[in-house]
A = this chain, B = another copy of it.
Amino acid sequence: MLTPTAKVILGMVRLGRRTGYEMKQLVDVSTRFFWTASYGQLYPELRRLEDDGLIAGEEASTSGRRRRAFALTDAGADALDEWLRSEDAGVYEYRDEGMLKIFFWDGLAVEDRRRILQLSRGRHEEVLRHLEAIEPAVRRRGGGPYAVLRSGLALHRFSIDWLNELEAELDRDREREVT
């Protein structure tokens, strides 16, 4: 079985990211919103995958700076395909402290509740802005990354709309209080 980070690495190598650094670069602008990877996971896992014969590394220093480039082995390509075709939906985790605050917000004043909604919305807006910024470039490439990007755009827009709706309800509740 592949570890979560191994899946990212094998996929990234097939996409042409040959060094750990390049993989991290792409993760940070693309998969980051539904799948992260830090250097602390990446480099040890690269070594493990090489030991297991799923990737092959070679010295690729262009100058005095050391650099290791990796390529998929046949076994690695098989492992990647096997995972992609596996009958297992895999990890799905959604953890949202904003939701937890809403769950427990019953004692709070309307203005405090509004603030909770605004903070949550602010974060979705930040992500949305980033996704919108890279949209033109990713659209040109198309394929899986573009499908995923459109998912992200749709999801965060939906969340923003939903939070706005909840905020509108808050106003209606207050009017009822005043009346």
Contact = CB atoms under 8 A, between A and B. Distances in A.
A14 B144 CA distance: 46
B144 A95 contact: no
B92 A80 contact: no
Number of identical protomers: 2
Q: Secondary structure of the A side of the interface?
A: helix
Contact of A34 (B85, B94, B112, B148): B94
A93 B94 contact: yes
Interface stretch (A44-52, A54-62, A117-125): A117-125
Interface of A: 4, 7-8, 11, 14-15, 30-31, 33-36, 80-81, 83-85, 87-108, 112, 115-116, 119-120, 122-123, 143-145, 147-148, 151, 154-155, 158-159, 162, 166
